[in-house]
Amino acid sequence: MNSDATIRTPAVTSRLPNVGTTIFTVMSALAAEHKAVNLGQGFPDFACDPTLVDAVTHAMQAGHNQYPPMTGVPVLRQAIAAKIEALHQHRYNADSEITITAGATQAIITAILAVVHPGDEVIVLEPCYDSYVPNIELAGGVVVRVPLTPGTFRPDFDKIAAAITPRTRALIINSPHNPSATIWSDVDMLKLQDLLTPTDVLLISDEVYEHMVFDGQQHQSVARFPALAARAFIVSSFGKTYHVTGWKVGYVAAPTSLTAEFRKVHQFNVFTVNTPVQYGLAQYMADPAPYENLTAFYQRKRDLFRQGLAQTRFKVLHTQGSYFQCVDISAVSDLGEADFCKWLTQEIGVAAIPLSAFYGNGFDQRVVRFCFAKKDETLFAALERLKKL
């Protein structure tokens, strides 16, 4: 029999010693504690289209409740292939080049685990989404951080070129960009194509905000650039497009040989993604209006929020895409970004995210991020408080 002294949990050496609770969780908890208006974490506070809920409900009632194929239900893969072709004139084979994933998060880590060997270098452009770096580390890869230009957040192709070595396995890009709300132009994409074409560098293109591109601009998907598409995993997420971040369903489009490697990892980490949501999404996608109208929907919210911010002492930065709005806090406070966000939550009652959270070295440029994927009344409530600053 075991005595208390022999019952113990063995110690482990952390695979991710630098990872703690994320700033998103910290700020959301602080927002809840102080009853702050939460413009921190990026998710809508309004309902999705009831037609989509009905489509998923019907799929369940119709008995679509057992394992789907490992790669995702064919009708959904076909709908995605048709949509990419209609929007970007690139035909992916629904059977061999598209895989349904548990959100973009699982798509990104799976792509990394599929192609990055220990010691391979992977370039990230900072500020970057918080999952990229730990994903690379879990694969045993070496993270190579290249900054986007402070102030404008534009890619610096000389710096990216200088970071490429014979050990570079992949580059991760993200447009529209979280957190800076910038987008890459066709000129940027052509420069990237010129840069990568002579190399064996793979591209992971995080396009989860693809349908939020403002002021008449066009989303420059990697799918539009054949020499990039030939080396890329394109990642997207239904969570952002259809206001259902909690459903965690996304997809990856990649050439057959890359998809084959992707699926080897996919089948042993999630195997597959819940069936009724896939059928519901496939049916809902038959109507392009919801994603076609998304830009107008969010552009109105962006403008409403920016008009309010113009009456504060924040310097309001450009928002070209995504549902984020960054502001420079220099004229409002002497605090660093993280302390300012905590203070803003506790004392003013509005939660925001410091951009320093998206840099490995905590680089502080006095800029914080608000999320405007919120009901108008939520935005007005936040603005009312921010105007007091």
Ligand X SMILES: Cc1ncc(COP(=O)(O)O)c(C=O)c1O
Residues at the interface with ligand X (CB under 6 A): 42, 103-105, 129, 174, 178, 206, 208, 237, 239, 245, 248, 250
Q: How many CB atoms lie within 10 A of CB 306?
A: 16
Residue type (1 letter), 134: P
Helix axes 275-284, 74-88, angle to 10 degrees: 40
Residue with smaller CB distance to ligand X, 139 or 172:
172
Could you tell me how far CA 267 lies from the centroid of its own chain? 22
Task: Choose among 292, 246, 275: nearest CA to 55.
Answer: 275
Residue with smaller CB distance to ligand X, 112 or 383:
112
What does 183-226 look like in DSSP terms, one character per residue?
---HHHHHHHHHHHTTS--EEEEE-TTTT-B-TT-----GGG-H
Residue with smaller CB distance to ligand X, 232 or 383:
232
Structure tokens, 263: 């699926």
Least gap, CB of 180 to ligand X (angstroms): 11
Least gap, CB of 182 to ligand X (angstroms): 12
Residue nearest to ligand X (CB): 103
In this structure, are residues 71 and 384 in contact, taking their beta carbons and an 8 Å threshold?
A: no
Tokens 């908890």 belong to which residue? 29
Residue with smaller CB distance to ligand X, 105 or 259:
105
Least gap, CB of 363 to ligand X (angstroms): 18
Dihedral angle sign, alpha carbons of residues 185, 211, 246, 95? negative
Least gap, CB of 208 to ligand X (angstroms): 5
Which residues neighbour 174 within 8 Å (Cβ) at sequence distance 6 or greater?
125, 128, 129, 205, 206, 207
For residue 146, what are the CA distances in angstroms to 155, 360, 377? 9, 11, 39
Least gap, CB of 2 to ligand X (angstroms): 41
Residue with smaller CB distance to ligand X, 38 or 332:
38
Least gap, CB of 285 to ligand X (angstroms): 16
Residue with smaller CB distance to ligand X, 129 or 314:
129
